[in-house]
Structure 1
Amino acid sequence: MIADDHPLVRGALRTALAGVVPEADIVEAGTFEDVTDCLGKGADLDLVLLDLSMPGVQGFSGLMYLRAQHPGTPVVVVSGNEDRGVIRRCIEFGASGFIPKSVDVETMRGAIRDVLDGRAYTPPDVDMSSPMDRETGDLVRRLGSLTPQQVRVLMMLSEGLLNKQIAYELSVSEATVKAHVSAILQKLGVESRTQAVIAASKIAAGQPVAVE
């Protein structure tokens, strides 16, 4: 699956994939809702090429959701954001690789081959050897413990939706949403939904994660 909201980018990635796996059946998605709809129908994907910024997701929320909901499907982030901290976060949140949109087609193909062969890929000039700081590592683990539905609720909280709006979007009761929010607060170690949103947004932006 190629998940990106820009048709030109999807076309370039399709060309890169065709050079690696000519017989591949490629599905395209322009929104994250398209991604979840496809996966919800039982699509058996060998690889997802995911843009970090597309309609329906903020920061690493799409990656977090896919890793929680479909842990056996490799996800490679393809992004125009080449910040070293962002690349590290993607790998820490379970991405199998990170391909900058600025690289040429042959580099893309090499990266895709690596991932399909079971190896992780990051740009060669990114140092992945140094450990993350303890506080950030703790929050990464906490966010990684959220269930897929809790990730979706946190995504919607970050968009400023109320409980009743989230309940409508997810076709569940408000009581269920409240239970999810309570579980999110407990897992993130915060006391309010505002603090949960702040914590998630700070780590998405690569900022210090302490919540006052």
Structure 2
Amino acid sequence: MLKLLVVEDHALVREGLVRLLGQIEEGATVFEAADFESALTVLDNEEEFDLVLLDLALPGIDGFAGLDILRRRYPAMPVAVVSAFDDTPTITRVLNLGASGFIPKAFSGEALLSAVREVLAGNIFRPSGQNGARLDDATPVPPTKVSVRPDEVGLTDRQAQVLCLMVRGLSNRDIADQLDLSEGTVKIHATAVFKALGVTSRTQALVAVARYGIDFENVF
């Protein structure tokens, strides 16, 4: 019999997920928690769970910190994030933190159940065709209490260096001189940076750096 835990602070959403997940198979048991601390109590008091579905924007310990704790404390237990914050950097960061899947809240009930089944089958679920929301779409960013390393949002070391120098106001030519690269190579890295951040311009990239709290302390 499947045993699932839903961690979601909005009661209406939580109750809807519990009812929906109860349909995944006959006899499935679905527990619920309104915050991460309550979720830990449930996990400590019950036997092993087949899957935890975790929201990101939780009160107290947020979903990012909570996911890190769960991966350390229960390394064999799959955790899937279910969130409205479905931009590319958030999805990349979640999967890099060890989530078994990212399921957008915009999914239909049928699509959500299909995604959950994928995770239960041992696969990593990432929504197909996810190209990232643009900053000019005013996509909300979940709260986070800590800075984010560039690799957590999908940037390579070189891409992080290029972005760092963009933040400092250097032109592509100046960046090329600083990194001993050709200007064409810098443009290629810049395009990759924009794609990773889900943006289309330098201005939007700088906004993304501020919104995600990207930390460049160790890029050089």
Band of TM-score, shorter chain: 0.5 to 0.7
Amino acid at match of 2:101: G
Q: 1:108 — aligned with what?
A: 112
Superposed displacement of residue 74, structure 1: 0.4
Mark the runs of 5 or more structure 2 residues left unpaired by the alignment: 133-152, 161-207
SS at match of 1:91: helix
- The TM-score with structure 1 as length reference comes to 0.62
- The TM-score with structure 2 as length reference comes to 0.60
Structure with the higher helix share, 1 or 2? 1
**Alignment root-mean-square deviation, CA:** 2.7
Cα pair 1:77 1:99 within 8 Å, conserved: yes
Amino acid at match of 1:34: S
Superposed displacement of residue 67, structure 1: 0.6
Amino acid at match of 2:29: D
Map 1:197-212 → 2, pairs under 5 A: 206-211=212-217
Q: 1:135-179: CA deviations, max 9, x gaps?
A: 899xxxxxxxxxxxxxxxxxxxxxxxxxxxxxxxxxxxxxxxxxx
Q: 1:65-100: CA deviations, max 9, x gaps?
A: 111111111000011111111011100100000111
Match of 1:46 among 41, 44, 50: 50
Identity %: 36
Larger Rg: 2
Map 1:100-179 → 2, pairs under 5 A: 100-126=104-130, 132-134=155-157
Cα pair 1:135 1:209 within 8 Å, conserved: no
Amino acid at match of 1:210: F
CA distance in 2, matches of 1:71, 1:38: 17
CA distance in 2, matches of 1:126, 1:206: 19
Q: Deviating runs (4+, > 6 A) in structure 1?
A: none
CA distance in 2, matches of 1:42, 1:32: 15
Superposed displacement of residue 207, structure 1: 4.1
